[in-house]
Chains A and B, each alone.
Chain A
Amino acid sequence: MSHQVLLQKLTSRLPLGICVVNKEYQIVYLNDFFTDRLRHVGGDVYNKNLLDLYPEAAKYLAKKINSVFVLNNASFSYWEHKPHVFNFSSSRPITGEETLMYQNIEFFPLDILHDSVETVCVVVQDVTELASYYRAQRALSEELEQEHKALTELNKKLEAAQNQLLQSEKMAAIGQLAAGVAHEINNPVGFVSSNLQSLQDYNAKLFKMIHFYRKLIQKINNPTYLALEKDMLQRQQYVFVSSDLPELIRESIDGLERVAVIVKNLKLFSHVDNSEWQFADIVEGLENTLKIAVNQIKYKATMHCNYQENLPKLYCQPMQLNQVFLNLLVNSAQAIENKGDIFIDVSATKEMLYVAIRDTGSGIAPDNLRKIFEPFFTTKPVGQGTGLGLSLSYSIIKKHKGEILVESTLNEGSCFTLQLPFLAPEDYQLDQAADAASFQP
């Protein structure tokens, strides 16, 4: 076998595409790898322009080949960046999922005459196998990453839940403390308050008497007595005392009334985990809740309350419903960025009680609307929201055989409506029995 024949056989069997072009991109040499894939062109491909044979790749090929001619330096093309420079179909037409061949290409100067490149050789390597393996690996690692992210997310949620639990434990402890303190304070506040009422009363009587005596002295009209009286009044600062004393008493009574309100709220608050079923006035519950939430609301929103008159009492767990009201009110206040309004509307039909809490806050994106009742769904920053408020509210309302509805328009506001059926204690008995049973070991 002559050397040339050997070379020819070799290049025809190589699993590489080899193409040599001159400065005009005319094909000087092509091996079988190319010609096998160029059957459709017909005729002799020699002296044809490479760029004409592969018009989609012409711009890129020209750039790469030019750089070799100019710089006298090899240049490379990677499947990661340009997977299919030549539109060769996949080498795995049956079993492979890819339709085009992935290629690494090297362009290098072949004939160099006096430092000037005369021909450039293009070597194409089929890396389909490698590429699809690599891509599968990458897909896998992306999947892993996703899973990892999901796990991290879950971890965070667990942490938040734990915090929430700790928080509610703390709240319960504070509640007990508050209940104790409230009870202790209530007694002295009671008698101080009734004493003050008496003081106010006696004080009025004493001033009436002084008034009477002064009139008497004036009637007698004895200059000596008058002078003595004037001196006495002056020395005892009668004018000031007579105006200040009733005011002091009034202020004290006011202050004590405030203490009484605070104590009452503390007592209410300390009963939040009370789940007793009873007939209760919903408006009263709302008002009590508002008092607790007032600090979170007053700088953000003006309250507008509208209650239908003569509402019947509802058989419910009042403290639990208060918890729902609180969640809704706090959400509304948190949804308002600067200043807005919150509307409370309570009405009833024969069968159903409606409590609507509407705000002019941020509104809820349609995508999120489906998710807000899911536990841990929150759009609030860490520390502000745990995403438990609505899911808790949902379960409370469900226990009352009610519904909780939302309407919301982004950037306009949201309205949460509670529908609570007027039912009799018997209607809940089965559930309560089930609840109780589930606590038994």
Chain B
Amino acid sequence: MNTLLSEEQRDALQELMNISMGQAANALARLISAKITLSIPKISAVTPHKFLAMLTKRTVWYTRQSFLGAIKGEVVAILSKDGCDAIALLMDYDLPLTQDTLNELLLELANILAGACLAGFAEQLSLKAKLSMPTIFMPAALRVEQYRWASTLIMEVEFKVEASHFDSKIVICLEEASVQTLLATLQQLLE
């Protein structure tokens, strides 16, 4: 169903992702001095329908953050409610978390992960992209009909902090037009 990408392109992209996500995991590990495990990056083309279906869990929080530059899009971070307190401690927050400090923590975490993922990724491709402030994201109110795009490329990777059962997923979503830029750049790299 991934008609957007050829097999070859996908492998190349996956390799790129692997490297950049490793850097993101390192960044988080350094910040909280804990061991981070990383899933294999998943690359897929999604429709708005599928995209919304990804955002229906009740056991997680969502943040979103857009990026601008040679490639454009948004990064959605999915952060588990489990283990948040442990991460808060590692990151020097006072417990118990209030609504405000929880939001602050979620946004900071999302920003670190998304920033590292995107920076690594953009650097590998020599494409510039600058992230804006993340905000808390409540996907419950979204409806498919509101979307003006048909299909796009997303890249997901999961980070787990083993010691504290914390689990997070970073989803880089490219704007439709940026997919072409990405593919062209990939093609150059492959040749």
CB distance from B24 to the nearest CB of A (A): 9
CB contacts (< 8 Å) of B104 on chain A: these are 78, 81-82
Q: Using a CB-CB cutoff of 8 Å, which residues 104-161 of chain B contact chain A?
A: 104, 107-108, 111-112, 115-116, 119, 131, 133-134
Contact A74 B111, CB 8 Å, known A63-B92, A67-B31, A106-B133: yes
A108, closest chain B residue (CB): B130
Contact A80 B100, CB 8 Å, known A63-B92, A71-B27, A104-B133: yes
Q: Report the Cα distance A106→B115, complex, angstroms.
A: 13
Q: Report the Cα distance A67→B116, complex, angstroms.
A: 12
Contact A78 B112, CB 8 Å, known A71-B30, A73-B119: no
CB distance from A130 to the nearest CB of B (A): 13
| Interface flag for A395 (CB, 8 Å) | no
- Once the chains bind, are B92 and A71 in contact (CB under 8 Å)? no
Contact A70 B134, CB 8 Å, known A63-B92, A78-B104, A81-B103: no
- Once the chains bind, are B133 and A78 in contact (CB under 8 Å)? yes
CB contacts (< 8 Å) of B39 on chain A: these are none
Q: Report the Cα distance A71→B108, complex, angstroms.
A: 12
CB contacts (< 8 Å) of B134 on chain A: these are 76
- Interface 0/1 of B18-38, CB less than 8 Å to A: 000000000100110000000
CB contacts (< 8 Å) of A72 on chain B: these are 119
The interface size of chain B toward A, counting residues with CB under 8 Å, comes to 18
CB contacts (< 8 Å) of A391 on chain B: these are none
A104, closest chain B residue (CB): B133
- Once the chains bind, are B30 and A70 in contact (CB under 8 Å)? yes
- Once the chains bind, are B103 and A80 in contact (CB under 8 Å)? yes
| Interface flag for A362 (CB, 8 Å) | no
B65, closest chain A residue (CB): A76
| Interface flag for B101 (CB, 8 Å) | yes
- Once the chains bind, are A75 and B31 in contact (CB under 8 Å)? no
Range of interface residues on A (Cβ < 8 Å)? 10 to 19
CB contacts (< 8 Å) of A67 on chain B: these are 31, 112
A82, closest chain B residue (CB): B104
Contact A71 B133, CB 8 Å, known A78-B107, A81-B101: no
- Once the chains bind, are A74 and B31 in contact (CB under 8 Å)? no
CB distance from A440 to the nearest CB of B (A): 58
Interface residue from A63, A71, A82, A106 paired with B116 (Cβ < 8 Å): A71
CB contacts (< 8 Å) of B119 on chain A: these are 72-73
CB distance from A248 to the nearest CB of B (A): 72
CB contacts (< 8 Å) of A104 on chain B: these are 133
Q: Using a CB-CB cutoff of 8 Å, which residues 83-110 of chain A contact chain B?
A: 104, 106
- Once the chains bind, are B133 and A73 in contact (CB under 8 Å)? no
B26, closest chain A residue (CB): A71
* Most chain A CB within a 10 A radius of its CB, from B100, B119, B133: B133
- Once the chains bind, are B115 and A74 in contact (CB under 8 Å)? yes
- Once the chains bind, are B115 and A71 in contact (CB under 8 Å)? yes
Interface residue from A70, A75, A80, A106 paired with B108 (Cβ < 8 Å): A75
- Once the chains bind, are A81 and B92 in contact (CB under 8 Å)? no
CB distance from B100 to the nearest CB of A (A): 5
Q: Report the Cα distance A72→B100, complex, angstroms.
A: 26
CB distance from A142 to the nearest CB of B (A): 14
CB contacts (< 8 Å) of B107 on chain A: these are 76, 78
CB contacts (< 8 Å) of A82 on chain B: these are 104
* Most chain B CB within a 10 A radius of its CB, from A63, A80, A81, A106: A81
- Once the chains bind, are A73 and B111 in contact (CB under 8 Å)? yes
